[in-house]
Structure 1
Amino acid sequence: MASAPEWTFRHADQLADHWWWRPGWKVGTRFYTWHINVFEDATPLHRLAASYQAQLSTVPGLDMIPQQWLHLTMQGVGFVEDVSTVQVDALLDAAHSRLAEAEPVKVRFQRPVMRPEAIALPSDPVEPVQQIRHTVRAAIADVLGPDGAPDNADGYQPHISLAYVSTSQPAATALDAINRVTADPADLTINAVSLIEMHRDNRMYEWRTVEAVPLGHSAL
């Protein structure tokens, strides 16, 4: 069995503010992206997240992510003004076709890792989720061309963030907080990928779901 990649357990020493404005972003920006926010049974995840957030919330400069906005970031598409309604419909059709050949994926989330701008639960294993992303990127390429999918094809690190950093600080205090927690892992089934229209107007990633596309032949 392949060993877990280093990013799943190697903690950052220093935390930095997550909420700086990336190029093209401002209040009012809307962005199409693919997330995984549909799970067969999210109760174990919510329980695990709440256990860690109870301790992390005592650390100044961390923004806890409400239960309704917990998600596994997948793959961006583009700013809403750059993607037509016709292209959105075609993206959904391509995703349905390609994801019909995939199967639901079982993963586990257990102990958070300190990332530079967030505290996150890495997926275990990572490879099945990475493969779903490759399939989603292929669907984007079907519609927007081979260079149509933003971000790099490789290096994707599947995770569910529990808190975003809002004040730059050493990671030690937050690491002490998560080390105080003993919690059962959350075993989840990923059975759909959602195309969403996202914004961050309120210092939180919020969205409306355009459509959730199931994995497996139920997608047909």
Structure 2
Amino acid sequence: MTSRERDSLQQRWDAYQRLPELVEHWYWRPGWRPDRSFYTWHVTFEGQTALHDLVTSLQKELALPGLDPVPLDGLHLTMQGLGFTDEVHQQDLVRIIDEARNRCAALASIELTLGPVDPDAEGIGLLVAPWNAVEELRLTIRDAVGSVWTTVPEAADGFRPHVTIAYSGDSVPTQPIRARLVEVRDLTPVTVRITEVPLIALRREDRVYRWDTVATVRLGQP
């Protein structure tokens, strides 16, 4: 963990101690609705047993009012949005996928550490480290998008890698959650190796994110 990750974790922890209640996560963002999907690049964690074991343990400890646990098959690291599926032309989508595959073939697989818990007003996450490896992957994907479109969606800066394990489902007081977080803050983080990043069609179903995989880009493989 570098000073950037450590400082962010401490600042967010300190802010959480001053937070009186949660902010409900499940409001509809602009353009979103139940029957609409969104193309986005996410790192997903299928088959990552050590991570699943850690998340299961944490979710048991954090089974408190106001927190909606993320299903193990819904764990993800948000990377780079592309656009709503009804607004992205298929020819552009194919070209962007091809460009991403070509560029990501030059990257090595990534070893990430997930943990400790990293809370904010809309949920409980796991700190992801190191940031620089995830940032490089995200910038590579953004370059691929920028080679097809003149404008790349979403800002290049302000990105903070994280994996959410529980979303805030109601505006409940944080004091009971803060007390429980103290008890699990020192659980040993886990290490995962990332060898691919999928492009998914993301949707919301009854306070859970679900998706269909559209394409998979492998790291270090032409």
Deviates more, 1:10-19 or 1:134-143: 10-19
Could you tell me which amino acid in structure 1 is paired with residue 218 of structure 2? P
Question: SS where residue 133 of structure 2 aligns?
Answer: helix
What's the CA shift for 1:95? 0.4
Q: Mapping of 1:101-120 within 5 angstroms?
A: 101-120=106-125
Tell me which residue corresponds to 1:162: 165
CA, structure 1 residues 163+121, in 2 after alignment: closer, same or farther (shift >3 Å)? same
Tell me which residue corresponds to 2:8: 7
- Contact persistence 2:65–2:172 (CA under 8 A): no
Question: SS where residue 53 of structure 2 aligns?
Answer: helix
Q: Which 4+ runs in 1 deviate beyond 6 A?
A: none
Tell me which residue corresponds to 1:36: 43
What's the CA shift for 1:38? 4.5
Post-superposition CA distance 1:52-105 (Å, at most 9, x none): 100111x10110001011111111000011101111111110100110111111
Please state if 1:207 is matched with 2:214.
no
Unpaired runs of 5+ in structure 1? none
- Contact persistence 2:200–2:212 (CA under 8 A): yes
Post-superposition CA distance 1:88-132 (Å, at most 9, x none): 111110100110111111110121111121100011111111111
Post-superposition CA distance 1:7-27 (Å, at most 9, x none): 333222242000011111111
- Contact persistence 1:114–1:175 (CA under 8 A): no
Could you tell me which amino acid in structure 1 is paired with residue 83 of structure 2? G
Could you tell me which amino acid in structure 1 is paired with residue 208 of structure 2? M
| Partner residue of 2:178 out of 160, 172, 175 | 175
Tell me which residue corresponds to 1:53: 59
Tell me which residue corresponds to 1:130: 135
Q: CA RMSD in A?
A: 1.6
- Contact persistence 1:38–1:194 (CA under 8 A): no
Post-superposition CA distance 1:14-52 (Å, at most 9, x none): 42000011111111111000000146x611110111111
Query: Within 2, Cα distance between the matches of 1:130 and 1:188?
Result: 17
What's the CA shift for 1:152? 1.0
Please state if 1:22 is matched with 2:29.
yes
Question: SS where residue 177 of structure 1 aligns?
Answer: helix
Question: SS where residue 181 of structure 2 aligns?
Answer: helix
Please state if 1:70 is matched with 2:75.
yes
CA, structure 1 residues 2+46, in 2 after alignment: closer, same or farther (shift >3 Å)? closer
Query: Within 2, Cα distance between the matches of 1:17 and 1:178?
Result: 19
Q: Percent identity?
A: 36
Q: Give the TM-score, by structure 2 length.
A: 0.91
Query: Within 2, Cα distance between the matches of 1:201 and 1:77?
Result: 20
Query: Within 1, Cα distance between the matches of 2:112 and 2:178?
Result: 24
Could you tell me which amino acid in structure 2 is paired with residue 108 of structure 1? T
Query: Within 2, Cα distance between the matches of 1:24 and 1:103?
Result: 35
What's the CA shift for 1:180? 2.1
Unpaired runs of 5+ in structure 2? none
Aligned residues: 214
